[in-house]
Amino acid sequence: MPNILILGAGRVGTSVAEQLVHENYNVTIVDDNPHNLQPLADKLDLRTLVGHAANPLTLEAAGAADADLLLAVTPSDELNMVACKMAHMLFNVPTRLGRIRDQDLLARSQLFTTDGFAVDHVITPAQIVTDLLARLVATPEALQVLDFGHGRAKMVAVRVEAGAHMDGKDLATLAQYLDKIDCRVVSIYRKNKRIPADGSTTLTVGDEVFFLAASKHVRAVIQELRASERAIKRITICGGGNVGYRLAKTLENDYQIKIIEVDRERAQWLAEHLPKCLILRGEATDENLLDNEQIDRCDLFLALTSDDEDNIMSSLLAKQMGARKVVAIINRSRYVDLLQGGKIDVAISPAQATIGSLLAHVRQGDIVAVHSLRRGEAEAIELIAHGDKNNSRVIGRKVEEIKLPQGANLAAIIRGEHVIMAHHDTVIENEDHVIVFIDNKRHIREIEHLFAVKIGFF
């Protein structure tokens, strides 16, 4: 079993450690604050060590010499970079991931090469969350939008709306409505419980439907599950920090954007760097401010500050005052579970959103992408199938012949430029990108084993 060394017991480090321990990895986590480590030591089967992440003696004591992967996610970019360099030079750790936030550092890719700080893979949570939010803006009816095959296919979560074509219809009817469009419903959740996604299942209002389709067909599928569709024009962003700024910069040419920022200096900086956006200095929980800015005409309200309480309260207030859809970043995962799908339409955990980027490097096999679904309960993986019928358990076989674990769904194949929905007689070929939905992460190892090439292939 791979040995994983995590430096930094903040939100990301803690979330990843919990995930990996549940998947039976050997995890050691280092932090210079014992108060961050004690809760982990009390509830998880892992090793903790108090120490400085870039101290060679600390790294040695943490078992860096035997580590298969190092994840440096301390609050300091420079500390993460130095730790990766030490792990490479002194301990020959094979894979090193570092969290880097500073745009000036990110703009100089040569810093991260083997001759530089030896960061194999740079993780930037703010950009990951920004990309996630941008996909939600582009698909406003969705609860979650995930890309596969470099954007050729998408997995989308949509809540069935009253009056939609599919309201009260069984799932088999969807194919009739879509005519020649092929899509795959991989999972349905009703009142937070998974129900069978077969043709006889009748959809009801509030059902959370996860479907996979070629990107060009996503809109057509959504139209069958939702009764109304209005394009987003007006966006209000609460919080002009890293995520708020990045998102506004991404969207400013296509939408009318207002940013509410409480800090005077930051508001001034935003006004200088986002000339197409309206910057408002004030509190997003100020009812008079929201009223004056006609929040009732807002299509999308995004609460993106670093304060959970502010995000929750401003979102609830904006919704009550007439904002069409509200999305909030919430760092505490328990809050996310409580609030998602109520007055707050979408609640996002940055740590949970980041985990997928990290797991793609931790997992065994040729994995392109890992996406966490339903606050970490389920997962969608994009793997590349290698080999031939003699040395692979999947190549040259029909989907119905592949022994998937219970709760796993081989949803689609991306073959070159083509997106192929997987049916019982679909045959997997060498180099196919295979998208698998797994509703229970205890079966992850079985999927990895299933797609592993037998010894001797290489």
Same-domain check for residues 325 and 341: yes
Residues 6+ apart with CB under 8 A from 75: 8, 10
Same-domain check for residues 245 and 270: yes
Same-domain check for residues 240 and 338: yes
In a domain, 130, yes or no: no
In a domain, 160, yes or no: yes
Query: 407 phi and psi, to 5 degrees?
Result: 90, -5
In tens, the pLDDT along 30-68 reads 999 999 999 999 999 999 999 999 999 999 999 999 999
In a domain, 132, yes or no: no
Size (the chain), residues? 458
Distance CA(229)–CA(141), nearest Å, equals: 8
Closest to 28 (Cα-Cα) out of 58, 11, 6, 52? 6
Separation of CA 64 from chain center: 28
Same-domain check for residues 258 and 366: no
Dihedral sign, Cα of residue 179, residue 181, residue 182, residue 186: negative
Q: Are 447 and 381 in contact (CB under 8 A)?
A: yes
Same-domain check for residues 76 and 166: no
In a domain, 129, yes or no: no
Q: Are 200 and 243 in contact (CB under 8 A)?
A: no
Which of 295, 328, 348 corresponds to the end of one domain? Answer: 348
Domain span holding position 150: 141-225
Same-domain check for residues 297 and 205: no
Q: What are the residue ranges in the chain where pLDDT is below 50?
A: 456-458
In a domain, 262, yes or no: yes
Distance CA(186)–CA(156), nearest Å, equals: 10
In a domain, 128, yes or no: no
In a domain, 437, yes or no: yes
pTM of the model: 0.85
In a domain, 133, yes or no: no
Same-domain check for residues 359 and 444: yes
Which of 95, 123, 151 corresponds to the end of one domain? Answer: 123
Which of 123, 156, 172 corresponds to the end of one domain? Answer: 123
Structure confidence at residue 367 (pLDDT): 84
Structure confidence at residue 361 (pLDDT): 79
Q: Are 6 and 30 in contact (CB under 8 A)?
A: yes
In terms of C-beta distances under 8 Å and separation of at least 24 residues, what long-range contacts does 326-329 make, across chains too? 326/300, 326/301, 326/302, 327/133, 327/136, 327/300, 327/301, 327/302, 327/303, 328/302, 328/303, 329/129, 329/243, 329/303, 329/304, 329/305
If one counts the domains in the chain, the total is 4
